[in-house]
Amino acid sequence: MGPLPTYNLLGDGPLVLMLHGSGGSFRSFAPQVETLASQGYRAAAWNMPGYGLSAPVEPYGFKGLAQRCIGLIEGLSGNAAGVPAGCTLVGQGMGGMVALEVALRRPELVHQLVLSATAPAVTPGDGYARHIDEALALIDAAASQDALAETLVPSVVGPDALAAGVRLATHCLAQVNLSVWRRALLAMRGFDRRAALAELHPPTLLVSGDLDRVAPLSAWPALPRTRLARLPGVGHLPNLEAPDAFDALLLDFLSEARPPVWH
């Protein structure tokens, strides 16, 4: 499966693994790592392959990304005998697509699924496709990564976004390797898991900002065992724009069926 991605880890208890979007890093879930750890969870946030010090996958696509994520789940959730217990997966944006891919490929490893500001497919002309085109154009035109981040992040958040969250999102995007980000954006263009959604096994929470023009909830069909949550005044980065509201939704969902802890 290749080398394990790098990650941040805090706390002890059932494993919750968080997967950032294409413009983020493990720091994108910093508020949630602290909150979950304080509430009795083992909270982990990865650097997606190619991000930070995580080795890239070749070819860069969802199969390879899912395999690296599966390896990380198995490594972090194993008991003393090395048997993986699985986890709750939380994904934002492209990280939500990776989380969905993992849940479909290895359902026994995913007890609960939280998909935030993401979509089951990217199709020509939809909000995600337009967002990808805009981001690629910014990569081509940007004078610097800082300028790119300061242009893109404000365009995808809501008007009442927490200022500290916007600053963190801007910092994370400014650190992303632009060649890797381009490859990630291009990989999303071919993502389409709509035909497999009927096979989705774990209880699922879909979170969306009601001002998200990239990945509105209308992109999703009705699914069994799925709860929908819209955050008012929020755009494409719910966990950073409104971390308290997002964390309340997340903790409530997790408390419904806490996954097992293996020692």
Query: Which pLDDT score, from 0 to 100, does residue 37 have?
Result: 98
Bridge pairing between strands 42-46 and 7-10: antiparallel
Query: Which pLDDT score, from 0 to 100, does residue 261 have?
Result: 40
Give the integer Cα–Cα distance in Å for 231 and 145.
Answer: 29
Where in the sequence is the domain holding 228, given as residue range(s)? Answer: 7-256
Residue at 1 is within a domain: no
What CATH number is attached to the domain comprising 215? 3.40.50.1820
Query: Which pLDDT score, from 0 to 100, does residue 143 have?
Result: 75
Residue at 2 is within a domain: no
Residue at 204 is within a domain: yes
Question: Global pTM?
Answer: 0.95
Query: Which pLDDT score, from 0 to 100, does residue 85 have?
Result: 84
* The total number of structural domains that make up the chain: 1
Residue at 185 is within a domain: yes
Residue at 38 is within a domain: yes
48: three-class secondary structure by DSSP:
coil
Query: Which pLDDT score, from 0 to 100, does residue 2 have?
Result: 77
For the CA atoms of 8, 9, 15, 19, the dihedral, rounded to the nearest 10 degrees, stands at -10
Residue at 239 is within a domain: yes
CB atoms within 10 A of CB 13: 15
**Per-residue pLDDT tens for 203-246?**
999 999 999 999 999 999 999 899 999 999 999 999 999 999 99
Q: Which one-letter DSSP state was computed for residue 12?
A: S
Residue at 198 is within a domain: yes
Query: Which pLDDT score, from 0 to 100, does residue 239 have?
Result: 98
Which of the residues in the chain have pLDDT under 50?
258-263
For the CA atoms of 108, 110, 112, 118, the dihedral, rounded to the nearest 10 degrees, stands at -130
Residue at 121 is within a domain: yes
Rounded to 10 deg, the angle between the 127-141 and 178-189 helix axes is 150
Give the integer Cα–Cα distance in Å for 18 and 222.
Answer: 24
For the CA atoms of 138, 141, 147, 152, the dihedral, rounded to the nearest 10 degrees, stands at -10
Query: Which pLDDT score, from 0 to 100, does residue 260 have?
Result: 41
For residues 20-45, b (16+ Cβ closer than 10 Å) or e, as one string? bbbbbbbbbbbbbbebbbebebbbbb
